[in-house]
Structure 1
Amino acid sequence: MSNRKLINQLIQLQELVVARIQKKVAMPKAPLDVLDQNIALLSENIPQRTKSHINDLLKKHPEAVVPLIDGHCTGCGMKLSISQANEVHHAEEIHRCPNCTRYLYVPSEVVAREHASRVYGEKRKIGIARFSTQPLMITPLTGNTSEEVLGEICERMQSEGFVEDGRQLLYMAMQREDIISTAIDGGMAFPHVRGVEGGGLTMALGIHKKGIHFGGPGRTLTRLFFFMVIPTATSAFYLKLLAGLSQTFRDKTARELLLNAENEEELWKALVQQTRKVIK
């Protein structure tokens, strides 16, 4: 197996392991058999030494394979020497960070981010306002397919200055959905792109009044889309945010308050009110 192919396989394995964690957080009683089988199948031909190390890393944190950006390990922030960075770029063998021992790779797709300070300001935010803002509320979404709906959300994130290239963000989000759908019970989905460096953990919320087929359980239509952009360093915060959102909106009444919002101002107020107790 070539080193580039091995790194890609490790990234896919990591995504499946993280998807398992996400599903367990969002749907505690959901069966995990299919994910477990896929993880086992993908792990079969990974060299034993590499497999043991990545499994040890994944037990500690959800980021075991991280991008090298501007010569820095995005897992721990260490700056590699020029020669070390060049070795990672050449990918003649797989490399680990000398500090945190995560596996390193040079991503072919990097979404550039703008500073979000103009939105967040200097005043300390609390609750869901730490991760989102009214301009990232979208109602109604009008697309009829997964790509159209996520495209609307990515376009909004670009227009509000959270990313520079919404189309590239969409491409990466669709790649993630191809691994396994982020839709869960209750007509909700948590699409996301991880490893987007710069800025903080950011969430947009889109409401589709009629709902679309998004690959969720059975024939359930998905109507609520919590879309998140997740820098590597905030993966733990993402899981806490996911847990808070899924805990809150398992309740049908809470979901209906979002779905019935007549405009984006009302949607933001409903989101803030409903998450106040669980997202600090």
Structure 2
Amino acid sequence: MTTTHSLINQLIQLQELIVANMQKKVSQPNARLEELNKSIQALSADVPQQIKSHFNRLLQKHPEAIVPVSGELCAGCGMSLTKSLVQSVAKSEALNRCPNCARFLYYPDQLVERERVSRSYGEVQKKGIARFTAPELMMFPLKGGTGEEVLAEMCQRMQQEGFVNDGDHLLDLALQREAIISTAVDNGLAFPHVRGVEGGGLSMAVGISKKGVKFGGPGRTLSRIFFFVVIPTATSAFYLKLIAGLSKTFRDKDAREMLLNCADEAELWKALNKTTRKTFK
């Protein structure tokens, strides 16, 4: 492994921690973030100062400072890249930047891609929460007894409904994300996600575990309501707004109970629309 390759991996991990920090702030306003902040400081300590400064400046403008090459495009801004630049990124011989948006670039081993560019193509423009999810992505009840089993169910549903090509790879990426820091929050909610899912808009599956599962949340809290989101790089900024809106809505016990008391997936779809009507217009 080259030094450049190691630095790229370090920047990717650092970015994930920073995004996790932002997510915790919007989903748990009173969360204690000391340990997460310490991890960010420790990981960034030996990043060369010039690179660190540029990285931090980028994060002030964009949700992501290092993005994958998707085909021959920068996944951050969509600019077409020269073949020589793509080859250089793939070889990891130097730390390359997009000529247009100045983000750092990396070449992923495998991109998760969408089957369909848009599920609403040719249809009436969706409103509210229906912009991000659909009746076929409601999952009730989730059968898994562990966090990994629950994620596996949701990833396979994403594949079955044509949102991704490879549910197993999506699961691997989701588990890698959970290993950084759990996406479980208070009130039995969890927001597992995978970013860098190219080829469409942000999409979300919603699952209900009647008994609840241990998902790494605060204390001994069991997670019962799962919002699993796949996020193209271009929509990373809106993802935090989505999480903030869902967190605000489902801090209310009555709203949570409305989802938990559903009898089937059709009722879950109706309840989700009803509880989020004022939050997402």
SS at match of 1:62: coil
TM-score (normalised: structure 1): 0.98
Deviations 1:110-156 (Å, cap 9, x if unpaired)?
A: 11211164566521000000000010000100111111000000111
CA apart distance, 1:255? 0.4
| Distance across 1 between alignment mates of 2:86 and 2:118 | 31
Aligned residue runs from structure 1 range 225-240, under 5 A: 225-240=226-241
Pair 1:92 & 2:93 matched: yes
Deviations 1:17-63 (Å, cap 9, x if unpaired)?
A: 00000000111111111111000000011111111111111122211
SS at match of 1:78: coil
Equivalent residue, structure 2, for 1:109: 110
Is the Cα contact below 8 Å between 1:132 and 1:202 reproduced in 2? yes
Aligned residue runs from structure 1 range 1-280, under 5 A: 2-115=3-116, 117-118=118-119, 121-280=122-281
Is the Cα contact below 8 Å between 1:116 and 1:162 reproduced in 2? no
| Distance across 1 between alignment mates of 2:12 and 2:117 | 28
SS at match of 1:225: strand
| Distance across 2 between alignment mates of 1:116 and 1:247 | 30
When the two structures are aligned, how many residues end up with a matched partner? 280
Deviations 1:66-108 (Å, cap 9, x if unpaired)?
A: 0001110010111111111111111101101111010000011
CA apart distance, 1:247? 0.5
Bigger drift between 190-199 and 236-245 goes to: 236-245
| Distance across 2 between alignment mates of 1:27 and 1:251 | 14
Is the Cα contact below 8 Å between 1:116 and 1:161 reproduced in 2? no
Is the Cα contact below 8 Å between 2:152 and 2:171 reproduced in 1? yes
- Read off the aligned partner of 2:23 and give its amino acid letter: Q
SS at match of 2:227: strand
Is the Cα contact below 8 Å between 2:262 and 2:268 reproduced in 1? yes
Is the Cα contact below 8 Å between 1:114 and 1:164 reproduced in 2? yes
SS at match of 1:8: helix
CA apart distance, 1:222? 0.4
Is the Cα contact below 8 Å between 2:112 and 2:196 reproduced in 1? no
From the superposition, tell whether residues 135 and 144 of structure 1 become closer, same or farther in structure 2 (CA, over 3 Å): same
Tell me which stretches of 4 or more aligned residues in structure 1 moved more than 4 Å.
Answer: 116-121
- Read off the aligned partner of 1:31 and give its amino acid letter: R
| Distance across 2 between alignment mates of 1:212 and 1:176 | 18
Bigger drift between 105-114 and 262-271 goes to: 105-114
CA RMSD of aligned residues (A): 1.1
CA apart distance, 1:165? 0.7
| Distance across 1 between alignment mates of 2:160 and 2:91 | 35
| Distance across 1 between alignment mates of 2:23 and 2:257 | 23
CA apart distance, 1:191? 0.1
CA apart distance, 1:109? 2.6
Give % identity.
63
Is the Cα contact below 8 Å between 1:14 and 1:62 reproduced in 2? no
CA apart distance, 1:180? 0.3
SS at match of 1:200: coil
TM-score (normalised: structure 2): 0.97
- Read off the aligned partner of 1:159 and give its amino acid letter: Q
